[in-house]
């Protein structure tokens, strides 16, 4: 199956819709799950685990013995790799730390901002059929650096009722031992509202399937969330200097995630486009997840031929992709042209999987065009800020008439009186 080739004029970026028939059907299930968890607590969690995962659990929390045993179940090669990833992710996110600050504007006036970590955070890690230890590190490390003291992980159990040892090792490296064998919308409900076993949290982060995403949407407001993530996306801008094999491999690295994943290439001649098209077809046959990647390419795989770099960046900024690869000459000279992208990869040797696993910047990124207003997950997502205001009596008196004038104009006489009483005789 060939990727479709378009000109810029022919291409129309599909806009994400918030209300679809699919979402409405999912919402009916999700809202029922949330209600049952709030009503029946742990009992509902055990029942849903048996219903959806086919597992009868004896306890929800992963034991210390299971965490310790995991160390012996992973290879030394994996351990070395995950420790290197931990080091890189930690180093990057430590640069994001924020501090409280104060200014003295006038005599008797001190203003500032107090920065404090959230108290409790829940991290959802997809699981069951696959394991994502990298996602554990990407979510837990910035929370730890921010200073969050209480962090819990929920993740679906494997068919034998255990949690994947690679996930447990990553959690242990990140300093987290509160791990629960719960997946799906029921895990989000448990984190949002609490059960006998799982304490309520203040914020839920982490990716998941459509049921997890919709559950996060519905509990938002009762708790904070990081984002509602959609299927993975990649946009590669490739000129004649980009090796066609590299371009095709990078497009397929995202197509294999999900049948609904999006892989787009923007290039500058029909000849390059056809070469990429043929190479994608060739490499598709070599993938373990051929069926998934093929479905993604058939549905959302596109190559767009444009005339100029300006045309390319106009398209990029309209798409606002989760992952953007600039495989063009002097790529670093063109970052200022990118207004909207979750992560920007520069050159032929900065492929997207580098960001997924090892470089250090977070791989939890805005999808579905939300890079126009959202940012990657970071330390700042686990902090909150309070304004600090201190005025002396004399400093307040200097502003009193201004405050009362505005309050009276807004007909808020109580506001005005709170100033007036401080400078009027009793």
What does the pLDDT look like over 17-72, one tens digit per residue? 445 667 889 999 999 999 999 999 999 999 999 999 999 999 999 999 999 999 99
Give 14's pLDDT tier (boundaries 50, 70, 90). Answer: low
pTM (2 d.p.): 0.93
* Cα dist from 50 to 9, 181, 197, whole Å: 51, 12, 17
Q: Are residues 234 and 201 in the same domain?
A: no
Q: Say if residue 13's pLDDT is above 70.
A: no
Same-domain pairing of 139 and 176 = yes
Residues 98 and 218 both lie in one domain: yes
Say yes or no: 206 and 238 in one domain.
Answer: no
Evaluate whether residue 166 is within a structural domain: yes
What percent of the chain has pLDDT above 90?
Answer: 91
Residues 194 and 299 in one domain: no
183 token code pair? 């997946």
Task: Specify the residue for token string 């479709």.
Answer: 4
pLDDT value at residue 38 = 98
Domain CATH for 324: 3.40.50.1980
Count of domains forming the chain: 3
Domain with 411 in it? 392-423
If asked whether residues 174 and 253 sit together in one domain, one would say: no
Nearest alpha carbon to residue 313 among 281, 339, 352: 339
Q: Is the pLDDT of residue 274 over 70?
A: yes
Domain assignment of residue 105, yes or no: yes
Q: Which residues are catalytic?
A: 322-323
Q: Is the residue at 131 inside a domain?
A: yes
| 36 is a domain residue | no
Two tokens at 140?
A: 């837990």
Whether 380 maps to a domain, the answer reads no
Does one domain contain both 104 and 236?
A: no
Domain-located, residue 23: no
Mean pLDDT value of segment 394-402: 96
Q: Which of 225, 259, 275 is the last residue of a domain?
A: 225
**Pair 293, 148 in one domain:** no
Which of 225, 256, 274 finishes a domain? 225
Are 51 and 116 part of one and the same domain? yes
| 307 in any annotated domain | yes
Shared domain check, 238 and 304: yes
* pLDDT tens readout for residues 344-364: 999 999 999 999 999 999 999
The tokens 């924020």 sit on which residue? 98
Asked whether the beta carbons of 286 and 248 are under 8 A apart, the reply is no
Q: Does residue 384 sit within a domain? A: no
Q: How far apart are CA 267 and CA 236, in angstroms?
A: 8
pLDDT 10s digits, 213-256: 999 999 999 999 999 988 999 999 999 999 999 999 999 999 99
Contact in structure between 316 and 237 (CB atoms under 8 Å): yes
What's the pLDDT score for residue 364?
A: 96
- Residue 1: pLDDT band (50, 70, 90) is low
Q: At 201, is the secondary structure helix, strand, or coil?
A: coil
* 363, 304: one domain: yes
Q: Are 242 and 113 in the same domain? A: no
Confidence of residue 148 (pLDDT cuts 50, 70, 90): very high
pLDDT on residue 16: 47
Query: Which of 225, 242, 267 lies at the terminal end of a domain, its last residue?
Result: 225
């Amino acid at each position: 199956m060939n990727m479709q080739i378009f000109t810029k004029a022919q291409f129309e970026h599909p806009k994400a819709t918030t209300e679809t028939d699919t979402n409405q059907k999912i919402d009916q299930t999700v809202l029922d799950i949330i209600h049952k968890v709030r009503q029946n607590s742990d009992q509902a969690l055990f029942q849903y685990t048996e219903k959806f995962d086919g597992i009868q659990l004896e306890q929800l929390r992963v034991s210390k013995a299971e965490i310790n045993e995991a160390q012996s179940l992973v290879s030394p090669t994996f351990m070395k790799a995950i420790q290197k990833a931990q080091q890189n992710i930690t180093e990057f996110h430590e640069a994001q730390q924020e501090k409280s600050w104060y200014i003295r504007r006038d005599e008797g006036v001190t203003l500032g901002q107090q920065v404090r970590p959230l108290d409790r955070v829940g991290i959802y890690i997809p699981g069951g059929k696959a394991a994502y230890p990298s996602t554990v590190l990407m979510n837990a490390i910035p929370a730890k650096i921010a200073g969050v003291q209480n962090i819990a992980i929920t993740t679906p159990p494997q068919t034998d009722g255990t949690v994947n040892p690679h996930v447990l090792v990553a959690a242990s490296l990140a300093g987290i031992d509160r791990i629960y064998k719960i997946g799906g919308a029921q895990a989000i409900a448990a984190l949002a509202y609490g059960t006998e076993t799982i304490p309520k949290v203040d914020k839920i982060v982490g990716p998941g399937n459509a049921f997890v995403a919709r559950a996060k949407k519905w509990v938002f407001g009762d708790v904070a969330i990081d984002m509602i993530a959609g299927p993975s996306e990649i946009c590669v801008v490739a000129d004649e200097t980009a090796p066609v094999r590299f371009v095709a491999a990078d497009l397929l690295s995202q197509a294999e995630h999900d049948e609904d994943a999006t892989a787009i290439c923007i290039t500058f001649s029909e000849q390059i486009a056809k070469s990429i098209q043929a190479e994608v077809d060739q490499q598709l046959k070599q993938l373990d997840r051929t069926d998934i990647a093929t479905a993604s390419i058939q549905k959302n795989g596109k190559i767009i031929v444009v005339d100029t770099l300006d045309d390319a960046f106009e398209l990029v900024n309209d798409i606002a992709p989760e992952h953007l690869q600039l495989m063009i000459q002097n790529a670093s000279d063109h970052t200022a042209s990118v207004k909207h992208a979750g992560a920007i990869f520069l050159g032929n040797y900065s492929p997207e999987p580098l960001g997924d696993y090892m470089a250090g910047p977070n791989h939890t990124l805005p999808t579905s065009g939300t890079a126009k207003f959202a940012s990657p997950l970071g330390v700042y997502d686990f902090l909150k800020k309070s304004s600090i205001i201190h005025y002396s009596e004399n400093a307040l008196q200097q502003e009193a008439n201004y405050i009362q004038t505005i309050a009276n104009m807004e007909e808020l006489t109580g506001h005005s009186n709170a100033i007036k009483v401080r400078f009027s005789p009793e």
